[in-house]
């Protein structure tokens, strides 16, 4: 992939060198386009050595190759990190007074900006207006992180970590998985933009049902697939509410994170986020049962003698959140509903047999099935999934692939359904 990495003049420019390394080590061809101010923080030799390409800031260098037009035209992805308040303002108003702003005007690929500045600058109405204008035009502007800034200041305005920007950029650039795009799918650029302005709700992680102050019933879900789904959706322009159950992963940039523990808490959080949602993706591993009675003191084991008994734990069913969402939605403002089936084969059938039965039973618009178990899927960075739809017996298999790639394919399917006349996804 041909990447243009724009760097503007902020102290966080040193982090862009780490971001550049991530792109080049992943095999991407990167041209760095710094501003004159950026070179005050990190010099031209560093960018040239790490990228393997000459570095220029003005439109007069190598003018015979027309770089101010060619770089933008030939790029598959443009990332600006850090994007200062000045750069955001110039980009929003279409200025073309250096090489980087010319590239931004000529680029027809995905464009991502990662702002970094002091809190007062980020929250200023002028900056907020510029960001809103860029997003309206299809530029993917990440929200900055909150933390230590230059000097003693702390607050929103910190550049997200290079790994976060890299993951979000790949999620944005990722088109339909080769050989798996549904028939009639839109071109890649169109598919990437179809989530812009949409509100999606994603669940992730595994719920825990407490037995006593120490113990709980739970599962092995790490939340990686749900967080990848949220990251890709945010990179494609969606407003994302991520309901996370007991995951230790950091919140993806630009995502509203709601943390829960139990199935009942997850159900309440999803219901609260549901009004106006265009799609709900239930990727969390939800406990089917919970203890009938919670013990407010630790359950003790017996000691000595011949008593080796263990307590009997009575369980009750948790609500079926997915089936409830399907049953409750109305015809006019229904979100599209995607279910997940974490299955293991048994004597009655394989993973796909159980997944088809679940799709029919739940009535959702898409079902994503994966085989799970010890050292399979849960906690892994790669997986294999099978995507099922109720209107066809065909099954689309994605993988083995990273969970970001799998997420990109799932959102391709969702985008196709959202733009179809199916009477769903009309929540906005």
Amino acid 354: pLDDT:
85
Q: Which of 173, 200, 216 is the last residue of a domain?
A: 173
Q: Which of 140, 173, 206 is the last residue of a domain?
A: 173
**350 and 288 share one domain:** yes
**242 and 332 share one domain:** yes
**135 and 228 share one domain:** no
Residues 6+ apart with CB under 8 A from 169: 3, 77, 79, 112, 235
| Structural domain includes residue 271 | yes
| Structural domain includes residue 424 | no
Amino acid 308: pLDDT:
72
Evaluate whether 337 touches 282 at the Cβ level (below 8 Å).
Answer: yes
| Structural domain includes residue 394 | yes
Residues 6+ apart with CB under 8 A from 190: none
**196 and 99 share one domain:** no
Amino acid 39: pLDDT:
95
Evaluate whether 216 touches 210 at the Cβ level (below 8 Å).
Answer: yes
Catalytic residue among 102, 130, 219, 370: 219
Neighbouring CB atoms inside 10 A of 54's CB total: 13
Q: Where are the alpha helices (DSSP H) in 274-384?
A: 321-328, 351-362
**CATH number, domain with residue 116:** 3.40.50.1950
Structural domain count of the chain: 2
**130 and 21 share one domain:** yes
Q: Is the peptide bond before 65 cis (omega within 30 degrees of 0)?
A: no
| Structural domain includes residue 307 | no
| Structural domain includes residue 182 | no
Evaluate whether 172 touches 77 at the Cβ level (below 8 Å).
Answer: yes
**CATH number, domain with residue 317:** 3.40.50.10300
- Residue 399's domain comprises 188-292+312-419
**270 and 392 share one domain:** yes
Rg (CA), the chain: 24
Structure tokens at 201: 């709700």
- What is the C-alpha to C-alpha distance for residues 48 and 373, in angstroms, rounded to an integer? 46
- Alpha carbon 339 to its chain centroid, in Å, reads 17
Those residues of the chain that have pLDDT short of 50 are 175-191, 373-374, 376-377, 421-428
**285 and 219 share one domain:** yes
**117 and 245 share one domain:** no
Evaluate whether 160 touches 122 at the Cβ level (below 8 Å).
Answer: no
**157 and 247 share one domain:** no
**147 and 219 share one domain:** no
**229 and 356 share one domain:** yes
Amino acid 179: pLDDT:
36
Q: Which of 138, 173, 208 is the last residue of a domain?
A: 173
| Structural domain includes residue 331 | yes
- Could you report the per-residue pLDDT of 35-44, keeping only the tens digit for each? 999 999 999 9
Question: What separation in angstroms does the CA of 294 have from each of 167, 362, 381?
Answer: 41, 30, 35
Amino acid 70: pLDDT:
81
| Structural domain includes residue 131 | yes
Evaluate whether 122 touches 145 at the Cβ level (below 8 Å).
Answer: no
- What is the C-alpha to C-alpha distance for residues 294 and 313, in angstroms, rounded to an integer? 10
Structure tokens at 326: 């399907």
| Structural domain includes residue 298 | no
**212 and 321 share one domain:** yes
370 classed as catalytic: no
């Amino acid at each position: 992939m041909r990447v243009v990495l724009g760097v503007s003049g902020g102290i966080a420019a040193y982090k862009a060198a780490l971001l550049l390394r991530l792109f080049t080590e992943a095999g991407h061809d990167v041209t760095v386009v710094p501003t004159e101010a950026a070179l005050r923080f990190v010099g031209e030799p560093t960018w040239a050595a790490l990228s393997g390409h000459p570095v220029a800031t003005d439109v007069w260098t190598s003018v015979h190759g027309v770089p101010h037009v060619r770089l933008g035209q030939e790029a598959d992805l443009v990332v600006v990190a850090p994007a200062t308040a000045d750069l955001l303002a110039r980009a929003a108003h279409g200025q073309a007074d250096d090489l980087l702003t010319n590239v931004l005007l000529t680029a027809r690929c995905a464009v991502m900006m990662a702002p970094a500045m002091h809190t007062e600058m980020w929250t200023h109405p002028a900056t907020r207006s510029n960001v809103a204008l860029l997003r309206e035009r299809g530029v993917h502007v990440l929200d900055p992180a909150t933390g230590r800034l230059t000097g003693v200041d702390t607050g929103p305005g910190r550049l997200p970590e290079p790994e976060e920007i890299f993951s979000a950029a790949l999620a944005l650039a990722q088109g339909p998985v080769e050989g798996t795009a549904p028939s009639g799918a839109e071109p890649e650029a169109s598919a990437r933009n179809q989530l812009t302005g949409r509100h999606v709700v994603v669940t992730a992680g595994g719920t825990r049902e407490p037995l006593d102050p120490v113990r709980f019933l739970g599962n092995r879900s790490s939340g990686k697939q749900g967080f990848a789904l949220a990251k890709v959706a945010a990179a494609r322009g969606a407003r994302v509410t991520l309901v996370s159950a007991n995951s230790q992963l950091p919140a993806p940039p630009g995502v509203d994170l709601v943390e829960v523990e139990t199935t009942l808490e997850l159900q309440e959080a999803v219901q609260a986020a549901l009004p106006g949602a265009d799609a709900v993706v239930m990727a969390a591993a939800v406990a089917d049962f919970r203890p009938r009675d919670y013990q407010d003191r630790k359950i003790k084991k017996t000691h000595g003698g011949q008593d080796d008994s263990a307590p009997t734990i009575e369980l009750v069913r948790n609500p079926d959140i997915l089936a409830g969402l399907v049953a409750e939605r109305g015809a006019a403002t229904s979100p599209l509903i995607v279910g997940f089936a974490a299955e293991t084969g048994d004597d009655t059938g394989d993973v796909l047999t159980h997944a088809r039965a679940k799709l029919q039973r739940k009535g959702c618009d898409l079902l994503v099935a994966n085989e799970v178990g010890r050292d399979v899927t849960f906690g892994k960075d790669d997986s294999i999934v099978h995507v099922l739809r109720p209107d066809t017996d065909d099954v689309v298999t994605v993988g083995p692939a990273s969970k970001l790639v799998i997420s990109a394919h799932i959102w391709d399917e969702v985008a196709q359904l959202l733009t179809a006349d199916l009477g769903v996804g009309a929540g906005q």
